[in-house]
Structure 1
């Protein structure tokens, strides 16, 4: 959000200088005199910034995965692309929808402004949509009273802080129309609870179920906080094989 605000400020300033030159300054300059350097830079940067700003605001935006909360679907260091129009066109910065398209569905991996601090962007999976009753008991997810189907895949390990290894089990979970992998650490303390998703909100969880601060801790994601749907991994400096994959 802060970068978008920065781009908007630069866009307004550069565009304002260019417009001022067209309407006022250019008429006062002697014929044949070169444009002032500030005007020259504004004329050069404004079209580029405008195109980038429009693409990032309404089409697609890049994000970097900062943590392992979405493992094994997304790894720390993955650079992903987020579809900005899947959930409707929104006013830049204010984020209010002015043209509705679709709403998040169970199983979507989505980016949103962190409810306790909207200046931070989070990425999780949509588990509950408005009206759903969500229950998490003994590391098992229930939606509207129905236990989700899970099947064991294999043992999984990954490095944690301090070079310690975390040993978990990977399961495949059926969430709506989406089959995706989750990680369960059987030795971790389970955060159990039951809640109902209110209108205009979503319940989000990380795929790394025992290493994710999500809706179980800080509550629901409001509609106005939505950014877009993650759909493509375009880079990872440490693992080139992840480039081009699509997380589900």
Structure 2
């Protein structure tokens, strides 16, 4: 074939009108582009999140819709990359897995704008969400096992394991960062020996004594209380347990029929079995615990009967080591060990609604590979219990999170 003939043939082909895409093909291309673009934004930049429980009230309310930044702490590269778009761990209709565990990538994170700071409001994967009873997904599997035994739970329910990035998303306030020492006394948290008062928007329980039994409950509604959820009677007449913020309780104290208001916390030296680290030798509860040193990357801890209840899960589950108790001490990856050096940073997370929050007091440390992002601002707030015209909380829209 001569060069002129080829050139002429090619020119004729280029002059032919291109075949126009069908409307169906255009729609398919548009949908694919939108899904890919939205997935990239969701994974690496920003993601919407909703508040499902009251654990952060009244800093964050049930029905608040947030934007969570992936860039602040550095976007986490997907650890389970083969997954259905926009589904977290379960398909919405079929209830089956929304991901495939055949491909698993190591934990990596892009450079971020800042490190996690104390008092940041952080979204993270639930650390103890590695094992789940499908029929009771709202209940902690390990708590169920402690209450009823491993055999009973594993026989009665369908048990599945989930990779780190497919565990439930939680949102709490970071009380302590890696290397900090945290403790709590009579409901007051201390970090590195310095007391940290609860934020004005945080809630705790109070014991309120009335002078009379004849009280109009609508008074408390006007002060911002949900009567059915925030106020309950005690076994003693005229004594009630309130859940509220310090400013709200200051207003309650001013009421002429109120005799006294005081914080209602658990007694010191009384053990609660579901409080981390579930050690019978520690009389810890939700209002009194510690001190606890939060593991830091490169920190070496001595392994003994005092430290292992605190750090064994981090060493075994979060950092992927084989841990066994031997007659003379501990074996890590089948080798005798009297100390361990951590490979990751860890954090201590707590809810602002201190007596209605499942947080680090119950399940311990949050590893850095579980961190999802930083809560930035509320873009919508919706009160399902309000009347139709009051459902949107207009005053909370576009409010920053502090």
Which of the five TM-score ranges fits, normalised by the shorter chain? Answer: 0.7 to 0.9
1:165 paired residue number: 230
Kept in 1: contact 2:183–2:191 (CA 8 A): yes
Aligned CA RMSD, in angstroms, stands at 2.8
Please report how far the alpha carbon of residue 126 of structure 1 lies from its aligned counterpart in structure 2 after TM superposition.
0.5
User: Cα–Cα, structure 1 residues 130 and 212, in superposed 2: closer, same or farther, change >3 Å?
Assistant: same
Structure 1: gaps spanning 5 or more residues: 1-30, 173-184
- Given that 1:157 and 1:168 are in contact with CA atoms closer than 8 Å, whether structure 2 keeps it comes out as no
Could you tell me how far 1:247 is from its partner in structure 2? Answer: 2.1
CA distance in 2, matches of 1:72, 1:112: 20
Confirm whether residue 219 of structure 1 aligns to residue 219 of structure 2. Answer: no
Aligned to 2:65: 79
Whole-angstrom distance in 1 between the partners of 2:366 and 2:171? 11
Secondary structure of 2:369 counterpart = helix
Q: 1:150 and 1:42, CA in 2 relative to 1: closer, same or farther beyond 3 A?
A: closer
Note closer, same or farther for the CA distance 1:171–1:132 as it changes in structure 2 (3 Å cut).
farther
1:98–1:83 distance in 2 versus 1, CA, 3 Å: closer
> Counting strand residues as a fraction of each chain, which structure ranks higher?
1
- In structure 2, the CA distance between the partners of 1:213 and 1:158, relative to structure 1 (3 Å rule), is farther
Is 1:228 equivalent to 2:389 in the alignment? no
Contact 2:70 2:373 in 1 (8 A): yes
Separation (CA, whole Å) in 2 of partners of 1:111 and 1:152: 21
| Contact 1:112/1:123, CA 8 A, preserved across alignment | yes
Determine the structure 2 residue equivalent to 1:18: none
* 1:116, distance to aligned residue in structure 2 (A): 1.0
Contact 1:168 1:186 in 2 (8 A): no
Q: Secondary structure at the match of 1:229?
A: strand
**Change in CA separation of 1:214 and 1:150 when aligned onto 2, cut-off 3 Å:** closer
Task: Please give the TM-score of this superposition, normalised by the length of structure 2.
Answer: 0.46
Give the distance between the partners of 1:237 and 1:152, measured in 2 at CA: 22
Contact 2:123 2:375 in 1 (8 A): yes
Cα distance change on mapping 1:165 and 1:246 into 2, 3 Å: same
For these two proteins, the number of residue pairs brought into alignment is 203
- Quote the offset at 1:75 in angstroms: 0.2
Show the counterpart of 2:184: 136
Tell me the equivalent position of 1:53.
Answer: 39
Q: Which residue of 1 aligns with 2:108?
A: 96
Residue 198 of structure 1: aligned partner: 295
2:378 is paired with a residue of what secondary structure? strand
Task: Give the CA deviation at 1:81.
Answer: 0.6
- 1:218 is displaced (CA, Å) by 0.5
Give the CA deviation at 1:40. Answer: 4.8
Q: 1:115 aligns with which of 107, 120, 127?
A: 127
With over 3 angstroms needed to count, the CA separation of the structure-2 counterparts of 1:165 and 1:92, relative to structure 1, is same
1:127 aligns with 2:175: yes
CA contact (8 A) 1:201 1:223 kept: yes
CA distance in 2, matches of 1:150, 1:71: 12
CA-CA distance at 1:240 after TM superposition: 2.1
Q: Which runs of 5+ in 2 are unaligned?
A: 1-17, 81-106, 130-163, 207-222, 232-241, 248-261, 267-284, 297-344, 384-392
State the Cα distance separating 1:99 from its structure 2 match: 2.7
Distance 1:138 1:100, change over 3 A: same
Rounded Cα–Cα distance in structure 1 between residues aligned with 2:21 and 2:76: 40
